[in-house]
Amino acid sequence: MHEYLKSKANKGNKDEESQKTTKPQWPIKLNLVPVKAPFFENADLLLAADCAPVALKEFNKLLPGKRVLIGCPKFDDARAYAQKLGEILKQNKIHSITIAHMEVPCCSALNWVVSKALEASEKEIPVKEYEITVKGEMNEL
């Protein structure tokens, strides 16, 4: 991790739990993250559509304790996402996956990505799915 990020992560954190939930992670784009990384070990993942944090005012409520991956299945290769995520799931101990996508049809491909990745990893990992409306509301599916 870059030294600047390390110093920012440790500054002002008073206990181990707050460090776990606020420690920075870079990169966050699914197509840029390494397949094997220390921040993935014993992690809860949040796979979000690129536009979800902008569309949902309370997106930060999904973040505590999660390692974030973002992507856009409309503008990127969803098959490549599924393959990459499958490798991440195979090579790391992931406890859960949360999907946050927009209500538009192209975004629902993130659910397909997770399904294919789980199939490829041959692991059973609990998944939660949230749909964000274009009006900025969130619904658990």
Q: Per residue in 93-122, pLDDT tens?
A: 999 999 999 999 888 899 999 999 999 999
Asked if 112 and 74 count as a contact pair (C-beta separation under 8 A), the reply is no
Q: How many Cα atoms sit within 13 Å of 68 on the Cβ side?
A: 23
Listed in order, strand segments (DSSP E) in 3-120 are: 43-49, 66-71, 94-102
Higher-confidence residue of 20 and 131: namely 131
Q: Which residue has the tokens 């606020």?
A: 22
Above 60 in pLDDT, residue 7? no
Domains and CATH numbers, the chain: 27-140 (3.40.50)
d(CA 10, CA 45): 22
d(CA 136, CA 51): 11
Q: What is the pLDDT of residues 42-95, one digit of tens each?
A: 999 999 999 999 999 999 999 999 999 999 999 999 999 999 999 999 999 999
Of 81, 83, 139, 136, the C-alpha closest to 106 is 81
pLDDT (0 to 100) of residue 24: 78
Higher-confidence residue of 83 and 12: namely 83
Q: Which two tokens stand for residue 105?
A: 């049809």
pLDDT (0 to 100) of residue 95: 98
Give buried/exposed letters for 32-44 (b at 16+ CB in 10 A, else e). Answer: ebeeebebbeebb
Give the predicted TM-score (pTM) of the model: 0.83
Higher-confidence residue of 4 and 109: namely 109
Local confidence band at 25 (pLDDT 50, 70, 90 cut-offs): confident
d(CA 70, CA 31): 9
